[in-house]
Structure 1
Amino acid sequence: MTPSTAQHPTGPRRSPEARVADVVRHAVRAGLLGEDRPLAGFLDTEGIRASVDALRAAFPAPPDVLHTFAAKAASLVPVLRLLAECGMGCEVASPGELRLALEAGFAPASIVLDSPAKTRGEIRRALALGIALNADNLAELDRIGELRAPGSSSVVGLRVNPQVGGGSIGAMSTATATSKFGVALRDPGARDGVVRAFAERPWLTRLHAHVGSQGCPLELIAEGVAETCRLAEDINDAVGHRQVTSLDIGGGLPVNFADDTVSPSFADFAATLRAAAAGLFDGRYSLVTEFGRSLLAKNGFIGARVEYTKDAGGRRIALTHAGAQTATRTVFMPDAWPLRVAVFDAAGRPKDGPPLVQDVAGPCCFAGDVVAHGRELPELAEGDLVVLLDTGAYYFSTPWSYNSLPRPAVHGFARTGAGDTGEVRFATVRDEQTLDEIAAESGLAHVDSLLALGAEHPVQG
């Protein structure tokens, strides 16, 4: 595979390091980062558009392809709106994500509902709107059959687990022998049961498989897709016509968190798929993809202020405002989700100096809240800024409300002009959560509700 850096459609863009430095400097000047706003997320709108273009270029016609964005990777309405305007569809896995997708302007026909635990109410609504559904299991197919009206415009698929194995991160591997997702194809009688399910339901026209994401090699993902293609051919042979007309091949392209290169690329992934399942690209099936992290991770970063530094046991520790509440996976699984750290001074200028081994810790009140362990970085001081790179997906967009810490503000950005004379324009994606909003979310409107329970039986002293 040939590493690459993202290219803007109108030509080469500045290096990732230079783009981040520009944005940090301008964010400080604009008051978006500093003492009063010590934490924020940032998204590169030009980079997002370039990533969508790269995805499209990797899957030229034929076949007909609906590229959907996995909403869980960045459940922010303005981000979804941008992707809708770029011609993407949206993959959703909950009523909340469906609401966000509709608010963002995705046409119902471009939305795919995936979830292993859909309620009857969720299924009814999706069918009423004409949204595509992927059933997770045969019992769900029965439920859809009961609720589906004749002539429904919703495409209905069945998720299968090709059981091709896992990658290096078990929690991200969805094609293991005991994965909770899909119909396990290699279990006794399961494959024949899937073929019968299609034969009994002429409205069932799609197969869906998703092998996993981070930690899964391309060859493993392609093996699962190839097995799904073979199953589609077996189903169509068994029913005597082309009932399976589309394949949802999921997403899961891993992201390189080690440096700025985009490796593997969407083109690498498509080439691996062609080698494993040539029939996937000959037009006999329309395709659906569900990429998320690979579209946004390298197009975003977190900026956080250093509040204090101290020494403990011979180790320098920088206490910042970016911790488990916004980098949850990295804090709890640091070996699986390591993040690069860039350092800037209080004015937003890249900081230099002799490297010093330091921990970069967060504000959460537990000892493990450390986002970077023993890193050699220029010596950090109060007021400096640390930047957690490659965090455009899953990090600041879906924060954890531990310690009732506020959700950080998120800003989109784009550059105008070139070189040192260029400017950076910002747009608000999400406001920082206020203390009033935290209190309201925590039940303030019902503050006295528990006092009324058992009031006639006071506790005896």
Structure 2
Amino acid sequence: MTQTSFRNTGTRPAARFDDAVRAAVEQGLLGERGAVVGFIDIDGVRESVAALRDAFAATPDVLHTFAAKAASLIPVLRLLADCGMGCEVAGPGELRLALDAGFAPSAIVLDSPAKTREELRLALALGVAVNADSLQELRRIDELRSRDTVSVLGLRVNPQVGGGSIGAMSTATATSKFGVALRDAGAREAVVQAFADRPWLTRLHAHVGSQGCPLELIAAGIAETYRLAEEINERLGTRRITSLDIGGGLPVNFDDETVRPTCADYVAALTEAVPGLFDGRYALVTEFGRSLLAKNGFIGALVEYTKDAGGRRIALTHAGAQTATRTVLMPDAWPLRVGAFGADGRPKEGPALAQDIAGPCCFAGDVVAHGRELPELHEGDFVVLYDTGAYYFSTPWAYNSLPRPAVYGFRAAAADGSTDVVFAPVRDAQSLDSIAAESGLAHANALIEPGGASSRPS
């Protein structure tokens, strides 16, 4: 198996994934027993983290956190912790996953636009960093915070620099639900006053968006946040703000194997837009997610049937909206590359044929790729959806009560003088018993038994 690194070349070695598909089929992980499976490239993840660290190598004080929502799988999070990453979480579930994965509370950052009092109490008790999303939330923290908490506390601001090409991924628009909108009347002064009133408030946070947001837009938002930090410190006559959380949002190229933009491109854009950002006066926090994991994972799926309809060839697989939700619902914004593999798990060859790759969900729009030119697929072949290491198989949609797919990590390992692919379980395929339990099996008679409707949760 090829061991070429993409850390410096910026290109994902295709042979790694080809070998992993072949081995997964040969070992029975992908096939009738596993009709749809997610795979994570362990070495690729480590290389992506190393590339991020290389890009920020000249920065005196930086904490790189991984956005847990991008791959909310404990073994993946533990791998990232082992790489020296911190973790950004957006709710109590993700906080629990981060703690179970082994992240130190001091390396965890809690972000969310609607934190409950209980979430805040727990974070403050643990010493987790918290970015308040609003001035109202700051007042809630006033009530809950004890003097001995070690949590770093910040305030998220919305620099309102505009949106990218995908509105749902743009968080610095004029009406975004995130942060304090700096250009609204009186908002900037209110933020300055909030810091003046709270000596314990020491961090500013901003996140412009992710997919569809160009580097120039991201840099503009961070530059505005930096200027606000400088203004607050100057007006207060003290170095009140000591750190900046600059978020994540590096977009992913879904067109081919190339990693672009790179982390080095990102740092270069920030250096040009905000020359003082990296001089060490402010500690930095980053929150990358998709850009670290997307190209380090893929979905493999068995072709169950093929058919023709209205002159169109359709390959029906088990990878549909339940595991590629964004692509199915917004195909133009989230297109995926598709690979065709034979029943032996090896790349197919032959004349290209325009084919739809459809999923198992019971609605007409469940198509992950339209009219793709691929070698003709047949029952028993396999398709691979590339660039799905983030937000896809790790965050499935329970439509039609379809079970969550199994996930495996993989890497090459030499044994007996030969090289083969070794797999490690990340998440077991969901059982039908689990689906029934999640669907209220324990309370099956609650709505038909006398008094059942009046019962209270324990």
Task: Bin the TM-score by the shorter chain.
Answer: over 0.9
Q: Per the alignment, do residues 6 and 295 of structure 1 end up closer, same or farther by CA in structure 2, a change over 3 Å counting?
A: farther
1:166/1:175 contact within 8 Å kept = yes
Matches within 5 A, 1:286-365: 286-365=283-362
Distance in 1, Cα, partners of 2:58 & 2:346: 45
Listed as ranges, the gaps of 5+ residues in structure 2 are 454-458
2:11/2:257 contact within 8 Å kept = no
Task: Give a deviation string over 1:311-370, Cα, whole Å, max 9, x none.
Answer: 001000000000000000000000000000001011101101111111000000000000
SS at match of 2:387: coil
Q: Which residue of 1 aligns with 2:456?
A: none
Q: Per the alignment, do residues 187 and 411 of structure 1 end up closer, same or farther by CA in structure 2, a change over 3 Å counting?
A: same
Q: Which residue of 1 aligns with 2:130?
A: 133
Q: Which residue of 1 aligns with 2:441?
A: 444
Task: Give a deviation string over 1:235-280, Cα, whole Å, max 9, x none.
Answer: 0011111000000000000000000000000000000000000110
Q: Per the alignment, do residues 190 and 14 of structure 1 end up closer, same or farther by CA in structure 2, a change over 3 Å counting?
A: closer
**Structure 1 position 196, deviation (Å):** 0.4
Distance in 1, Cα, partners of 2:131 & 2:423: 38
Distance in 1, Cα, partners of 2:222 & 2:5: 28
The code of the aligned residue for 1:306 comes to V
The code of the aligned residue for 1:176 comes to T
2:253/2:260 contact within 8 Å kept = yes
SS at match of 2:448: helix
Distance in 2, Cα, partners of 1:12 & 1:178: 39
2:39/2:408 contact within 8 Å kept = yes
Listed as ranges, the gaps of 5+ residues in structure 1 are 457-461
Task: Give a deviation string over 1:112-165, Cα, whole Å, max 9, x none.
Answer: 000000000000000000000000000000000110001310000000000000
**Structure 1 position 36, deviation (Å):** 2.1
The code of the aligned residue for 1:410 comes to V
Q: Which residue of 2 aligns with 1:459?
A: none
Distance in 1, Cα, partners of 2:173 & 2:67: 21
2:245/2:284 contact within 8 Å kept = yes
Distance in 2, Cα, partners of 1:294 & 1:17: 18
Match of 1:98 among 95, 107, 113: 95
2:10/2:260 contact within 8 Å kept = no
**Structure 1 position 223, deviation (Å):** 0.3
1:339/1:388 contact within 8 Å kept = yes
Q: Which residue of 2 aligns with 1:368?
A: 365
1:429 aligns with 2:426: yes
Q: Which residue of 2 aligns with 1:110?
A: 107
Matches within 5 A, 1:248-263: 248-263=245-260
1:8/1:46 contact within 8 Å kept = no
Distance in 2, Cα, partners of 1:411 & 1:264: 27
1:31 aligns with 2:28: yes
SS at match of 2:244: strand
SS at match of 1:82: helix
SS at match of 1:80: helix
Q: Per the alignment, do residues 58 and 442 of structure 1 end up closer, same or farther by CA in structure 2, a change over 3 Å counting?
A: same
Matches within 5 A, 1:151-162: 151-162=148-159
Distance in 2, Cα, partners of 1:253 & 1:12: 18
**Structure 1 position 18, deviation (Å):** 1.1
Distance in 2, Cα, partners of 1:15 & 1:144: 45
1:146 aligns with 2:143: yes
Q: Which residue of 1 aligns with 2:386?
A: 389
SS at match of 2:20: helix
SS at match of 1:339: coil
**Structure 1 position 15, deviation (Å):** 5.8
SS at match of 1:307: strand
Distance in 1, Cα, partners of 2:93 & 2:150: 22
Distance in 2, Cα, partners of 1:61 & 1:359: 47
Distance in 2, Cα, partners of 1:198 & 1:14: 44
Distance in 1, Cα, partners of 2:398 & 2:85: 30
Q: Per the alignment, do residues 169 and 234 of structure 1 end up closer, same or farther by CA in structure 2, a change over 3 Å counting?
A: same
**Structure 1 position 417, deviation (Å):** 4.1
**Structure 1 position 433, deviation (Å):** 0.2
Q: Which residue of 2 aligns with 1:232?
A: 229
Matches within 5 A, 1:123-272: 123-272=120-269
1:48/1:299 contact within 8 Å kept = yes
Q: CA RMSD in A?
A: 1.8
Distance in 1, Cα, partners of 2:334 & 2:152: 36
Distance in 2, Cα, partners of 1:255 & 1:279: 27
SS at match of 2:239: coil
**Structure 1 position 422, deviation (Å):** 1.9
SS at match of 1:451: coil
Distance in 1, Cα, partners of 2:131 & 2:272: 26
**Structure 1 position 416, deviation (Å):** 2.1
1:6/1:262 contact within 8 Å kept = no
The code of the aligned residue for 1:143 comes to R
Count of residues in correspondence between the two structures: 450
The code of the aligned residue for 2:59 comes to P
Distance in 2, Cα, partners of 1:23 & 1:212: 33
The code of the aligned residue for 2:182 comes to L
SS at match of 1:269: helix
Distance in 1, Cα, partners of 2:321 & 2:34: 18
Q: Which residue of 1 aligns with 2:5?
A: 7
Distance in 2, Cα, partners of 1:91 & 1:357: 41
Q: Per the alignment, do residues 229 and 35 of structure 1 end up closer, same or farther by CA in structure 2, a change over 3 Å counting?
A: same
The code of the aligned residue for 1:257 comes to F
1:84 aligns with 2:81: yes
1:6/1:51 contact within 8 Å kept = no
Instruction: Give percent identity, aligned residues only.
Output: 74
SS at match of 1:255: coil
**Structure 1 position 16, deviation (Å):** 2.5
1:156/1:205 contact within 8 Å kept = yes
Q: Per the alignment, do residues 390 and 455 of structure 1 end up closer, same or farther by CA in structure 2, a change over 3 Å counting?
A: closer
Distance in 1, Cα, partners of 2:11 & 2:251: 24
Q: Per the alignment, do residues 453 and 325 of structure 1 end up closer, same or farther by CA in structure 2, a change over 3 Å counting?
A: farther
The code of the aligned residue for 2:387 comes to D
